[in-house]
Structure 1
């Protein structure tokens, strides 16, 4: 891959993560293409379109208002349509309810440090797909569940 394109795609993804940390929901949604989606793989939840993506992301904003993503590795492949694989950890303190398909986990006030992998497909500067692989067994264990 052309190094210049790799830098551009990495910058787009880093900007997306910054918007997530800032909890700027309208700007996060704006990063997605019209047909883009967010897939929380382990929960088997796919959020399509701005309203659904906003709802899916807001769950984590509510539960972890101080969430921070520490980025470890970022790999880019492709040109016009790029795939960016990110190895990271999700860190923060559960200060609000975490709404999951099987129920609500009330605020535990506990810190989490959960290693994750996320795969983003981008085209024309927009996110086509955002696949999140979060090990919920580890997250729940860290919350004392």
Structure 2
């Protein structure tokens, strides 16, 4: 594996660790251009301001949200990651049916994400998490 591939893999590992640490400035620094495309909900957060709003909204119900990498691979300009998403429901959670007050319950759901890089770069241009939108609600006993 080449130096660029190793740097990209490390960028993704750092990015995911920094998300767990809630170090949003450092997470933003892993991007050439901050962008999340959420497969499952269809939401797109493009640009630093939108991505920071996503961080705030996703951590309100789950301030301890974390991830545990299961597998990671590099192919072309993409890094693919399979991981466990974890968290505890400690804040209000907005669902299509309304807002659910904190239950204190924890979840652990399997997910995958792709991280796209510009050719020749070790900075992310887009993260695409792939998930079942109802998985967390089911894991919390809310669906």
Task: Name the TM-score, length of structure 1 as normaliser.
Answer: 0.87
Gaps spanning 5+ residues in structure 2: where? none
Over aligned residues, Cα RMSD in angstroms? Answer: 1.7
Runs of 4+ in 1 over 6 A off after TM superposition: none
Helix, strand or coil: the match of 2:7? helix
Distance 1:91 1:41 in 2: 18
Taking the TM superposition and a 5 Å limit, the aligned residue runs for 1:103-118 are: 103-118=98-113
Distance 1:27 1:140 in 2: 29
Distance 1:54 1:102 in 2: 25
* Cα deviation, residue 25, structure 1: 1.6
* Cα deviation, residue 22, structure 1: 0.6
Gaps spanning 5+ residues in structure 1: where? none
Distance 2:81 2:110 in 1: 11
* Cα deviation, residue 99, structure 1: 3.4
Distance 1:48 1:101 in 2: 23
Helix, strand or coil: the match of 2:134? helix
Q: Spell out, residue by residue over 1:75-129, the C-alpha distance to the aligned partner (whole angstroms, 9 max, x if none).
A: 1011xxx201100010121111233566433222111001001011023222111
Distance 2:63 2:38 in 1: 19
Say how many residue pairs are matched: 140
Taking the TM superposition and a 5 Å limit, the aligned residue runs for 1:123-134 are: 123=118, 124-134=121-131
Contact 2:8 2:123 in 1 (8 A): no
* Greater displacement, 59-68 / 40-49: 59-68
1:53 is matched with 51
* Greater displacement, 62-71 / 93-102: 93-102
Task: Name the TM-score, length of structure 2 as normaliser.
Answer: 0.88
